[in-house]
Chains A and B, each alone.
Chain A
């Protein structure tokens, strides 16, 4: 099972919106609405941001949103803040395994 493809880096200025893509196949992202997103600051454990494509756990700010079209899922951060500078990972259910992670995206706040 190959890792889902994410851009290596995305950047934006405070207050702007950015979108991180997560591209898979019809055997994972495209075949199920079971995509989650995690935020990881350096040296810390990942934190759940989005599950089931577009649902936020309680406590996650509303500026984080998720969506999916075909084989590509997306995480949008609206009103970018300095504390959003971190690495972001998607994961999806697959036909052969409960999880495959994305390659990860480093978000830089300019």
Chain B
């Protein structure tokens, strides 16, 4: 069974870069026909898709965040990473990584537990 675990600093200063890692176990992040996504949820609010990496090597981003986001994969460590630059308080949220089998809705079938990131000086 695939498991995902997010990690990274819980506190980031405004204007700096938020960097998170998602470690995948129980399967290879570079095999199969899957998308690996980052999704966030501000406290008390709804979900927002940030972007995804496809096992065949392509990336896609939410148009509203595209200018600030980079998603990449380290296949040797089986990790997905997220970098979001020029952060503000509005970027404070629980950040999730999730897997989606490619096809149809590309639904998220496995999720990490989430990691809380607060943007504050």
Contacts from A to B (Cβ < 8 Å): 1, 3, 33-36, 38, 44-48, 51-52, 57, 89, 91, 93, 96-104
Contacts and interface: CB of A to CB of B under 8 A. Distances in A.
B108 A48 contact: yes
Of A97, A99, A102, chain B has the most CB atoms within 10 Å of the CB of: A99
B63 interface: yes
Interface residues of B, number: 24
A34 B105 contact: yes
Nearest to A101: B47
Contacts of A97: 49, 60, 62-63
Contacts of A52: 104-105, 107
Nearest to B114: A45
Given A97-B63, A101-B47, 15 more contacts: A36-B108, A38-B47, A45-B98, A45-B113, A48-B108, A51-B104, A51-B107, A57-B107, A91-B105, A97-B49, A97-B60, A98-B60, A101-B48, A101-B49, A103-B46
B76 interface: no
Contact of B105 (A46, A93, A96, A104): A93
Contacts of B64: 1
Contacts of A3: 46
A104 B104 contact: no
A102 B106 CA distance: 16
Nearest to A52: B104
A46 B112 contact: no
B34 interface: no
Secondary structure at the A interface, as helix, strand, loop or mixed, is loop
Contact of B108 (A38, A44, A100): A38
A50 to B, nearest CB: 8
Contacts of B113: 44-45
A98 B49 contact: yes
B36 interface: no
B109 A45 contact: no
Of B49, B52, B64, chain A has the most CB atoms within 10 Å of the CB of: B49
13 contacts: A34-B105, A36-B108, A45-B96, A45-B113, A45-B114, A51-B104, A52-B104, A93-B105, A97-B62, A97-B63, A98-B60, A99-B49, A101-B47
